[in-house]
Structure 1
């Protein structure tokens, strides 16, 4: 079976890519080893930035009846409350099963061919062979198959850099133990080294986790245990589930010729907030448009060049966020940032505007750097 574009991975990036290309009349195959609906380990933070991208790509708003929406958030540091912000741009907490399934259905409705529940045996730059022996071909392949991407492994020999990847642990606390409707939306700085903890109330459960850079956290289970205890939860309430997090460890060249990477497979995760859904959808859309433009030129091999060019604004944001991460999370500098965050309403406001998609990282950086102590600036210079 021949297609214009094969999208491998049917999560937010893949469904966005498949929908965008199919609506332009392209023959698209949407491939995933899992059958949908399926669940996925994730904090499930769906911001107003995510909502804006969702509407742009899929042509309709996400059904907010499926989420818990909060307009306040609590920030903590080392068991001390830093601030509770009220009347912030709304933050939506969702389970990935209904979110991903809705996006997958959009892709199929748009005309993408359904190749889910189809584990892959082998790929080349133009073919995908399934374990059942079937083979499909495409002029452009888009890998949107997550942090452990088969496509990234095919291209680069490894899906990610073990020295720079992040890692998180997470549990779902059932409502029989903790009522999610009365739980605050909470972020705890330094619950893990170069990272944070989170407590996200949702329908019927609360998602609690810790995450940070992998290398400085050889004892992440101990961090998770301590965080649960700080929330008054029994660490044995549920089994810890772990996953790698490409915290801003983005690939500057996300592909080769006619094979592209998007979403987590390309490291498109905010290195400060850990948000991946928004950039997954947006990078999937950009990859699909690059593929369509390359096919219009009858030059599929130019897809990567077009993609990288269009990704520059996102890459600039991620690069600046990586620099800011050193201010926010580096153990030697973090107390100075915490003091700034505690006393500066402007910094807190800009942080929330960033999540809402109302500003980008350059404006947040200006807000932080103009308010940090002089000795902190000197420490950064050193």
Structure 2
């Protein structure tokens, strides 16, 4: 018998497992894969991600190889908005190495290793059966098993809302990353973006957007590679993205969902590592508190309350996404980004974890009428 079962060993699951194990709970960490394993992801590790990592794993930074960049190039709908050399640092990692380290840290903290064995079934009372027949039981279960979450499917019949889901394609390029800035292209996909992230041994290039608006994402990736001037002969990889559609119910009964399984992804940047780690920690803390009271059935209520700051930020980002991607507002967004040092600075501070979407929203709300009328005047 365990106190907590964590399903999924990525950033959300590892954060949950390390938090629970360090609190003295008997923690089982389950994942279908043996680490290291590949994971489609741009690999951007923002200042917010670093701050959460330090809080949760009690270390200054991951040991996994990372490239640090202060230079970022921004594009929107094919237009170069500018390249800036004084950006807050963005760390770029290969998820294969990063996730393996986080999982190892959780196991070293005392979580029992059940990686390499997928979950076969889950019951509402916390009984988890693995594919090899192993039966695990715990009063609290945390599902951190990604966008295609088997845990979410067992609870709700489906892992995600197909109308809201995003999809991304990604390739690795052998190009030397030495002189390349981080590149972000808003609108490289419809209601989405493109990215070119230099890593230690190459460049990760991808495009992602709402699936229902991008029926031929492969052509968009090919077009984006041409736009960046990069070539790739590696296999194209694809994955669903919970594109800012946070679950209203992040769990059911004694089962909590964290990270991508709960839809906790920034709907503008697609960044999910920071929210994954923080939600994993929150889920574990809710479990710890409920078990201490002898009421594990209250963990979900506590967790939902704790998540409000994240779900509120995602809601604010969804509103701002309307301003960025709706055709009527595109020119306003482009002009304001290019001309407003303040707006650009606020966005970079957001990436660094120095401010929240609430601050950016207030800044835009105060300035939006001015940006709008300037844009109209310039189009006459």
TM-score normalised by the shorter chain: which range applies?
Answer: over 0.9
CA contact (8 A) 1:257 1:300 kept: no
Aligned mate of 1:215, from 208, 212, 216: 212
SS at match of 1:309: helix
Alignment partner, residue 143 of structure 1? 143
Aligned mates of 1:374, 1:72 — CA distance in 2: 29
Matches of 1:141 and 1:12, distance apart in 2: 16
| C-alpha displacement of 1:374 | 5.7
Query: In the TM superposition, what is the alpha-carbon distance from 1:237 to its structure 2 partner?
Result: 2.5
Q: Deviations over 1:181-240 (max 9, x none)?
A: 122210111110001110000011100001111111111111111111111234x62332
Q: Does the residue aligned with 1:171 lie in a helix, a strand or coil?
A: strand
* SS of 2:37 mapped into structure 1: coil
CA apart distance, 1:124: 1.1
Q: Of residues 281, 285, 291 in structure 2, which corresponds to 1:285?
A: 281
1:358 aligns with 2:354: yes
Alignment of structure 1 residues 228-239 onto 2, 5 Å: 228-234=225-231, 237-239=233-235
2:378 maps to which residue? none
Give the CA deviation at 1:64. Answer: 6.1
Distance 1:219 1:164 in 2: 17
The one of 186, 190, 198 aligned to 1:189: 186
CA distance in 2, matches of 1:375, 1:45: 30
Deviates further, 77-86 or 275-284 = 77-86
User: Is the 8 Å Cα contact of residues 337 and 372 (structure 1) preserved in structure 2?
Assistant: no
User: In 1, Cα distance between the equivalents of 2:219 and 2:31?
Assistant: 34
- State the shift of 1:65 in Å: 6.8
Give the corresponding residue for 1:172: 172
What are the residue-to-residue correspondences of 1:26-65 with 2, within 5 Å?
Answer: 26-63=25-62
1:373 to partner: Cα distance:
4.2
- Residue 335 of structure 2 is matched in structure 1 by 339
Q: How does the TM-score come out when normalised to structure 1?
A: 0.94
CA distance in structure 2 between the partners assigned to 1:139 and 1:93 by the alignment: 37
Match in the other structure for 2:97: 98
- Superposed, which structure 2 residues align to 1:189-268 within 5 Å? 189-234=186-231, 237-268=233-264
Q: Which residue in 2 is equivalent to 1:74?
A: 73
Give 1:328's match in structure 2, choosing from 324, 331, 335: 324
Quick one: distance in 1 between partners of 2:318 and 2:22?
35
- For 2:149 and 2:118, the matched residues in 1 are separated by 13
CA contact (8 A) 1:70 1:91 kept: yes
In the aligned structure 1, how far is the partner of 2:135 from the partner of 2:345?
52
Match of 2:307 among 287, 305, 311: 311
Q: 8 Å contact 1:336–1:373 — kept in the other structure? A: no
2:183–2:196 contact (8 Å) kept in structure 1: yes
The whole-number CA distance in structure 2 between the counterparts of 1:315 and 1:131 is: 34
Query: In 2, distance between residues paired with 1:48 and 1:375?
Result: 29
State the TM-score, normalizing by the size of structure 2. 0.95
Structure-2 residue corresponding to 1:269: 265
Which residue does 1:160 correspond to in 2? 160
Aligned position for 1:380: none
- CA separation in 2, counterparts of 1:50 and 1:71? 16
User: Across the two proteins, how many residue pairs are aligned to each other?
Assistant: 373
Partner SS for 2:100: helix
CA distance in 1, matches of 2:181, 2:212: 30
Q: Within 2, Cα distance between the matches of 1:3 and 1:100?
A: 24
What CA deviation, in whole Å up to 9, does each residue of 1:230-273 have, x standing for no partner? 11234x62332111111111012101121000000000101111
Q: What SS is found at the alignment partner of 2:178?
A: helix
1:135-154: per-residue Cα shift (whole Å, max 9, x none)? Answer: 11111110000000000001
CA contact (8 A) 1:193 1:331 kept: no
Gaps of 5+ in 1: 378-382
Contact between 2:64 and 2:93, CA under 8 Å: does it hold in 1? no
